[in-house]
């Protein structure tokens, strides 16, 4: 079992992803994630969840692991993850469970990677 956690300052993150015509938003989030038209605060949860998952995988984002390899979907209080590419390869047969909590100021996520599930 492996874990990863992350916390995001919501206002700081939202300022970053709305600058420069949203170029950072497109770099961090896949077309599938953006197609669901997340609420502003959902983007902070989605980013934090990606960071938590990559920590549970034991890697960082680099040329082999793309931000788009970890897709996060927020549906009300549910947060779902879909792995592809290198993230799926790294996870192997493991299952990823996510937990998220959010206030107006911060988004906190926790990822649990259960091996052999």
CATH number of 2-114: 3.90.470.20
Phi, psi of 103, rounded to the nearest 5 degrees: -120, 180
Q: From residue 73, give the alpha-carbon distance in Å to each of 19, 21, 52, 116.
A: 23, 22, 14, 24
Domains of the chain, residue spans: 2-114
CA 63 to CA 86: how far, in whole Å? 10
29, 40 in Cβ contact below 8 A?
no
For the segment 110-117, the average pLDDT, to the nearest whole number, is 87
Q: List pLDDT tens digits, range 22-74.
A: 889 999 999 999 999 998 899 999 999 999 999 999 888 877 899 999 999 99
Q: What pLDDT was estimated at residue 87? A: 95
Residue 117 has pLDDT above 60, yes or no: no
SS (H, E, C) 33-54: HHHCCCCHHHHHHHHHHHHHHH
For the segment 75-104, the average pLDDT, to the nearest whole number, is 93
Predicted structure pTM score: 0.93
């Amino acid at each position: 079992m492996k874990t990863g956690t992350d916390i995001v300052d919501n206002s700081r993150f939202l300022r970053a992803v709305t600058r420069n015509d949203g170029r950072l938003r497109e770099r961090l989030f896949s077309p599938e994630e953006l197609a669901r038209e997340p609420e502003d605060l959902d983007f902070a949860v989605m980013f934090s969840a990606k960071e938590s998952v990559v920590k549970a995988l034991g890697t960082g984002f680099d040329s082999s692991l793309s931000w788009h390899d970890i897709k996060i979907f927020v549906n009300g209080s549910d947060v779902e993850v879909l792995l592809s590419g290198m993230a799926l390869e790294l996870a192997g047969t493991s299952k990823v469970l996510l937990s998220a909590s959010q206030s107006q100021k911060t988004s906190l996520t926790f990822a649990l990677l259960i091996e052999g599930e």
